[in-house]
Amino acid sequence: MRVLRFSIGVGAVLFFALACGGGGAATNAPATGSTATQLVDGELPVTCGASVAAAQTEVAIANNAFDPSSVTVAVGAIVSWTNNDSTDHTVTFDASPDCDRVLGGESIASTFNAAGSDAYHCRIHPSMTGTVVVQ
């Protein structure tokens, strides 16, 4: 604490800030076993490029439509999209990111990092829309 005592006023403010910071960190510590729902700094609510095999929820793409058009998943869940059409489609989130093309006959998957409602569409066929509700 000697370093902080260059001025009584500044020292008191620093001491107050340190005391508050320590108390806040302790109170805000997540309960044991709970799932973290806060995004890491700079992390998007959706991350593209997850393992299709690891997906817990599957959305089919057929006849220029997402089926089902709305799914509800838990925070941290992986959702896959399988394109059963012969034409390409995209899974593009309205807010971001754009998870790019799903070639005909292929699959992609994304991870949902935060609670909320993530609307998406196909960039090539704007009438194709869907929503992932994350709880």
Size of residue set near Cu ion by CB under 5 A: 5
- Strand segments (E) across the chain: 46-48, 57-61, 66-67, 70-73, 78-83, 89-93, 98-102, 107-112, 116-121, 129-134
Distance of closest approach, residue 75 Cβ to Cu ion, in angstroms: 28
124 binds Cu ion (CB under 5 A): yes
Stretch that binds Cu ion, among 8-16, 71-79, 105-113, 125-133 (CB under 5 A): 125-133
62 binds Cu ion (CB under 5 A): no
125 binds Cu ion (CB under 5 A): yes
Give the C-alpha separation, 89 to 82, whole Å: 10
80-99 positions binding Cu ion, by CB under 5 A: 89
Question: For 69, what's the count of Cα atoms within 13 Å in the CB-facing half-sphere?
Answer: 9
Sign of CA dihedral 37, 43, 44, 47: negative
Distance of closest approach, residue 123 Cβ to Cu ion, in angstroms: 7
Q: Rank residues 24 and 105 by Cβ distance to Cu ion and give the closer one.
A: 105
Question: Chain centroid to CA 36: how far?
Answer: 12
122 binds Cu ion (CB under 5 A): yes
Q: Rank residues 51 and 69 by Cβ distance to Cu ion and give the closer one.
A: 69
Chain residues binding Cu ion by CB under 5 A are 89, 122, 124-125, 128
